[in-house]
């Protein structure tokens, strides 16, 4: 009889603990819109819907400050090999334009001299000019592009249900552990209560 009391209280405790944690997890997201509870005059709304703007802003700032830097992205995309490639392409196009646009009246010897001169100039100054141009482009991009703001706007544009799906998918295993932990703690509390009931009798 005593064993049945302890066992039933442990099982009831486990069920209560498990259900309580499931509800607590749901309340992180739901209700999506504020629901006013009459009499006590209290508004109930999920944590993430209620604090979405603050959360989006914080995530954006953390990503911009700690994870993503415009200069790093730029340097990753524009490597030395890419600059060399761009320089060669520009040089080839300029020399081709000279061939096509220079009047036929000009002797080939002069054309060749002009092409050689321009080719040498590009070899000497082309890379520096290109690097200066890319640096100016980077400086302009750094002032115009705000990663934190882009991320904040993107998160705020999500439907809450979509945001919930993303977070649940990412933390599915951890959320399941929280549910099971609630059941385990409830079981242990029920077990202790059951033993105390028998002792007090």
Backbone angles phi, psi at 44, to 5 degrees: -105, 125
pLDDT over 90 for what percent of the chain? 13
The DSSP secondary structure of 139-180, one letter per residue, reads HHHHHH--HHHHHHHHHHHS-HHHHHHHHHHHTHHHHHHHHH
Evaluate if residue 125 carries a pLDDT over 80: yes
Total-model pTM: 0.56
Which of 7-11, 13-17, 82-86 bottoms out in mean pLDDT, i.e. has the lowest?
82-86
Mean pLDDT of all residues in 152-176 = 85
Residues forming a β-bridge with 37? 42
Evaluate if residue 198 carries a pLDDT over 90: no
- Cα–Cα distances (Å) from 55 to 67, 131, 151, in that order, read 17, 39, 11
At residue 18, the pLDDT reads 93
Nearest CA to 68 out of 144, 141, 146 is that of 146
Mean pLDDT of all residues in 98-125 = 80
Contact 29, 113 (CB under 8 A): no
Instruction: Compute the mean pLDDT over every residue in the chain, rounded to the nearest whole number.
Output: 84
Mean pLDDT of all residues in 76-95 = 83
Integer-rounded Cα Rg, in Å, for the chain is 34
Evaluate if residue 52 carries a pLDDT over 80: yes
The C-alpha atoms of residue 115 and residue 121 are separated, in whole angstroms, by: 10
201 — pLDDT class (breaks 50, 70, 90): low
As given in the structure block, the two tokens for residue 54 are 């603050």
Backbone angles phi, psi at 40, to 5 degrees: -85, -5
The C-alpha atoms of residue 33 and residue 121 are separated, in whole angstroms, by: 66
Mean pLDDT of all residues in 69-79 = 75
The DSSP secondary structure of 39-100, one letter per residue, reads TTTEEE--HHHHTHHHHHHHHHHHIIIII--HHHHHHHHS-HHHHHHHHHHHHHHHHHHHHH
182 — pLDDT class (breaks 50, 70, 90): very high
């Amino acid at each position: 009889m005593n064993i049945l009391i302890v066992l039933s209280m442990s099982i009831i405790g486990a069920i209560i603990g498990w259900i309580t944690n499931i509800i607590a997890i749901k309340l992180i997201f739901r209700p999506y819109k504020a629901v006013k509870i009459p009499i006590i005059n209290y508004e109930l709304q999920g944590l993430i819907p209620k604090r979405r703007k603050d959360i989006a802003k914080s995530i954006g700032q953390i990503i911009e400050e700690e994870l993503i830097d415009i200069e790093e992205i730029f340097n990753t995309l524009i490597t030395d090999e890419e600059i060399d490639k761009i320089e060669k392409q520009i040089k080839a196009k300029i020399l081709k334009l000279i061939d096509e646009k220079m009047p036929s009246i000009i002797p080939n010897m002069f054309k060749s001299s002009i092409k050689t001169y321009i080719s040498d100039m590009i070899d000497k100054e082309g890379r520096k000019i290109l690097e200066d141009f890319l640096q100016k482009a980077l400086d302009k991009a750094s002032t115009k592009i705000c990663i934190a703001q882009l991320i904040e706007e993107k998160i705020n544009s999500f439907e809450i249900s979509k945001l919930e799906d993303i977070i649940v998918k990412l933390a599915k295993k951890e959320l399941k552990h929280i549910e099971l932990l609630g059941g385990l703690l409830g079981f242990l509390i029920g077990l202790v209560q059951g033993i105390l009931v028998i002792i007090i009798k």
